């Protein structure tokens, strides 16, 4: 018999939040193909490829390269990520994993005395170009060079800035006094003037870089002239990446984490992403409760969601890392294990996070990613999340090549053995080692029903990513919310430590917040993620695309 949720609750309200809404109500309903991303030119680049007969993987590759031009805060060729692929009427879903790796010269304690996260030392070996090429090799339909053509055109001829991107560029340029190449490439007149919406950003050096990749394939990046430029940049700034590091980098085709939830199939990335395991574990826990007995925003519903998050993120810290370096237990996504975790939830009181892992010693107290979703006329779907880590990554632009490098090395547990209540995690599975892939929270997710795509979603947001996806899954799968409402809905987050509930609805759901406080939760406001998503109507087969209004974006289809 399923346990029912009982009444409860209350919270210490530290902040308040109202989502920022950009642009119009961007919902698109089409039948033949759809791309939803943070950038209108990026979505249009993918749509162009779909209209030319490309499949969803082709369109995803075109979108990814276009975002490297039109969304430099996170779109990239100097970072890495995960692509979840649901083939149409064919093989099983797969994940193309192209996470960055630690250079051979990296050491476990290289950041033990602290590091800003910016600059050359923070750069991991990039995986994006190799990953997109692997996806094309396995699933692509159109020629490789055709898929880069929209991005090359956008870089060479320029594109018009919208207000959010103009504001973002002005902000990073103003803060980049130590990075003159970033100021030269991304500043208006080298930073002397401020960008305005409607200005045209032209990136000739990036166009030349993309042209080389189009003509010579990924080896241009990992062995050729671009590799030489990256290594020269590393030497100039004290970075660790060598030609050998670049030459030895490999992307992987991996089996996705597969779970089921109330009759739906869930596909999400495996380690070195924590996203799939944590998402499936949380859904498995929630399956033990009759959520629909209570309102979506009731304290009963939110309390159980928080407790599921708390337990999954505790296991994330305890067990998850690069599977080539860390043995990951098989039981984490089992229904039986989830039942045991569910039975440990007190429906009237918050669990203290530190009580979940008394064996992990606590030290004294002391984003930027982007996601896009694609589906083609045959029902092939792609959920892709990739990143530079922080917004604009390391702030290092490769001189003469026009692109930013990541700062993914700080995604390792950089303080070995230091885990504290403030949220620093120092557990062994994600500590730095040469050639190791840092743990990620990226969760590009595809939900299927009866063998057909039902929902494509994902988000940026560091450790909040997994919970953004969970929120959307609960809203759509449990509460039958339409996709526009589910994407707009306030999001909830808990990550074990700090032991704080973060909730976008602190103003709009004040009574629920008050009841959560009575249960022992501490709650703060937050702005969480941007989930550019697609829902497929199983009755009509129509594709519904929704761009998240927390940021700019576009759903482009036909």
Q: What is the CA radius of gyration of the chain?
A: 22
Distance, CA of 546 to CA of 530 (rounded, Å): 11
> Maximum CA pair distance of the chain?
67
Report angle CA 345, 280, 501 to the nearest 5 degrees.
Answer: 50
- 227/376 Cα distance (integer angstroms): 34
Which is nearest to 405 in space by CA: 211, 209, 137, 554?
209
* Nearest Cα to Cα of residue 114 among 394, 434, 410: 410
Residue 381 phi, psi dihedral angles, 5° rounding: -130, 150
Report d(CA 174, CA 167) in Å as an integer: 11
SS3 9: coil
**Using CA atoms, how far apart are residues 98 and 102, in angstroms rounded to an integer?**
13
175 phi and psi, to 5 degrees? -95, 5
Among the listed residues 366, 406, 410, the one whose alpha carbon sits nearest the alpha carbon of residue 116:
410
Q: Is 369 labeled as catalytic in the residue annotation?
A: yes
Distance CA 162, CA 170 (A): 12
Task: Tell me the two tokens of residue 12.
Answer: 């210490």
- Identify the sign of the CA torsion 515, 519, 522, 524: negative
User: For 411-537, where are the alpha helices, taking DSSP H only?
Assistant: 465-473, 483-488, 510-518
The two structure tokens encoding residue 372: 């896009």
Exactly one of 101, 128, 301, 369 is catalytic; name it: 369
By annotation, the residues acting in catalysis are 369
């Amino acid at each position: 018999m399923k346990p029912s949720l009982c009444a409860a609750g209350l919270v210490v309200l530290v902040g308040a939040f109202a989502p920022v809404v950009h642009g119009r109500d961007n919902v698109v309903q089409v039948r033949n193909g759809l791309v939803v991303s943070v950038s209108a030119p990026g979505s249009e680049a993918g749509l162009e490829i779909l209209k030319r007969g490309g499949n969803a993987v082709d369109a995803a590759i075109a979108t990814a390269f276009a975002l490297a031009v039109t969304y430099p805060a996170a779109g990239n060729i100097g970072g890495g990520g995960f692509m979840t692929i649901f083939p149409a009427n064919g093989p099983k879903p797969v994940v193309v994993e192209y996470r960055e790796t630690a250079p051979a010269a990296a050491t476990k304690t290289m950041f033990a005395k602290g590091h800003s996260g910016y600059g050359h030392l923070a750069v991991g070996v990039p995986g994006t170009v190799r990953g997109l090429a692997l996806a094309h090799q396995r699933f692509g339909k159109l020629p490789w060079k055709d898929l880069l053509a929209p991005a090359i055109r956008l870089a060479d001829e320029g594109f018009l800035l919208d207000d959010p991107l103009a504001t973002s560029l002005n902000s990073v340029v103003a803060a980049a006094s130590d990075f003159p190449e970033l100021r030269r490439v991304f500043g208006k007149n080298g930073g002397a003037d401020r960008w305005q919406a409607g200005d045209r950003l032209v990136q000739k050096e990036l166009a030349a870089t993309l042209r080389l990749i189009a003509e010579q394939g990924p080896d241009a990046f990992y062995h050729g002239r671009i590799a030489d430029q990256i290594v020269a940049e590393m030497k100039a700034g004290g970075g660790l990446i060598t030609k050998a590091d670049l030459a030895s980098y490999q992307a992987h085709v991996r089996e996705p984490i597969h779970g089921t939830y109330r009759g739906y199939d869930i596909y999400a990335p495996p380690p070195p992403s924590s996203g799939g395991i944590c998402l499936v574990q949380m859904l498995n826990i929630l399956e033990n409760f009759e959520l629909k007995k209570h309102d979506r925003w009731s304290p009963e519903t939110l309390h159980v969601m928080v407790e599921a998050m708390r337990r999954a993120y505790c296991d994330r810290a305890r067990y998850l890392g690069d599977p080539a370096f860390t043995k990951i237990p098989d039981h984490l996504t089992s229904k039986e294990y989830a039942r045991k975790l569910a039975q440990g939830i007190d429906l009237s009181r918050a669990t203290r996070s530190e009580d979940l892992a008394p064996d992990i010693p606590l030290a004294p107290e002391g984003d930027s990613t982007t996601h896009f979703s694609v589906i083609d006329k045959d029902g092939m779907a792609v959920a892709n999340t990739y990143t530079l880590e922080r917004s604009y990554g390391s702030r290092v632009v490769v001189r003469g090549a026009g692109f930013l490098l990541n700062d993914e090395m700080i995604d390792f547990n950089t303080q070995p053995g230091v885990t504290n209540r403030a949220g620093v995690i120092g557990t062994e599975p994600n500590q730095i080692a040469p050639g190791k892939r840092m743990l990620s929270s990226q969760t590009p997710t595809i939900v299927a029903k009866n063998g057909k795509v039902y929902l494509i979603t994902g988000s940026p947001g560091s450790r909040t990513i997994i919970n953004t996806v969970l929120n959307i899954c609960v809203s759509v799968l449990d509460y039958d919310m339409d996709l526009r409402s589910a994407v707009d809905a306030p999001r909830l987050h808990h990550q074990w430590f700090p032991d704080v509930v973060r909730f976008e609805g602190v103003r709009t759901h004040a009574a629920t917040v008050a009841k959560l406080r009575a249960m022992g939760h501490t709650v703060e406001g937050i702005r969480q993620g941007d989930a550019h998503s697609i829902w497929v109507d199983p009755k009509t087969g129509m594709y519904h695309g929704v761009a998240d209004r927390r940021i700019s974006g576009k759903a482009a289809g036909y």
